[in-house]
């Protein structure tokens, strides 16, 4: 890019993930839309690239796929108004928030954190990132297939909280740094992945992600 910001693929920082940001997904999980955003964090080690072979964790027997728009932050920001939020975005892509659903359900029942269920190694596969200057601000289509079968299909227009709103909120609470990533929530249709599965995801015709599981 030509404005001094790092290119979208320079670094991967903290991954801020948003729960229940699509009403239909909240409903399929038997949950309501929260008043404030639900935020959990994945570390940089959760990242893996398209083409990766992902080892399913030994501590879970029910890992689910959740396709999401991912947004990469291009410069450090502590506070920002929604109207200015797109100015700090370096690029966008498609990601999959892999979730150990059985571990998450146990944590929910006991009022415990979700870190083990959500943040294990390679639990955040992501496509290449497309510079925001090349794609505008959406909305975009999200699709996910498992072994060629369509499982998830939605639009970023269906998000309960927009990208600018999420950026403004996260910057006010945590501070955002160049290379940080926001996983913006998943539409309905989440489901299990098994050893041997090939999972593909798309953000319109802009970004494609393919991973397999062992």
Q: Give the tens place of pLDDT for each residue, 163-172.
A: 999 999 999 9
What does the pLDDT read at residue 45?
A: 93
Cβ(211)–Cβ(53) under 8 Å? yes
What does the pLDDT read at residue 32?
A: 72
Q: What CATH topology corresponds to 15-213? A: Fumarylacetoacetate hydrolase; domain 2 (3.90.850)
Q: Would you place residue 11 in the very low, low, confident or very high pLDDT band (cuts 50, 70, 90)?
A: low
Cα separation of 87 and 82, whole Å? 10
What does the pLDDT read at residue 2?
A: 35
Domain ranges of the chain: 15-213
The mean pLDDT of 45-66, rounded to a whole number, is 97
Q: Which carries the bigger pLDDT value, residue 137 or residue 33?
A: 137
What does the pLDDT read at residue 28?
A: 76
């Amino acid at each position: 890019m030509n404005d001094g910001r790092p290119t979208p693929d320079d670094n991967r920082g903290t991954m801020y993930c948003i729960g229940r940001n699509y009403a239909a997904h909240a409903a399929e999980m038997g949950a309501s839309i929260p008043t404030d955003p639900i935020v959990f964090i994945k570390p940089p080690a959760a990242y893996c690239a398209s083409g990766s072979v992902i080892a399913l964790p030994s501590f879970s027997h029910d890992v689910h796929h959740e396709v999401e728009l991912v947004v990469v932050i291009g410069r450090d920001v502590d506070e920002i108004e929604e109207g200015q939020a797109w100015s700090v975005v370096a690029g966008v892509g498609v990601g999959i928030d892999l979730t150990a659903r059985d571990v998450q359900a146990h944590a929910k029942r006991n009022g415990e954190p979700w870190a083990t269920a959500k943040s294990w190694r390679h639990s955040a596969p992501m496509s290449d990132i497309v510079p925001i200057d090349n794609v505008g601000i959406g909305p975009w289509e999200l699709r996910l297939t498992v072994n060629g079968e369509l499982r998830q299909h939605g639009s970023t227009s269906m998000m309960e909280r927009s990208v600018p709103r999420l950026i403004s909120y996260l910057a006010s609470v945590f501070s955002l740094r160049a290379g940080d990533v926001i996983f913006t929530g998943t539409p309905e249709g989440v489901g299990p992945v098994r050893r041997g599965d090939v999972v593909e995801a798309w953000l319109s015709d802009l970004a494609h992600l393919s991973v397999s599981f062992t």
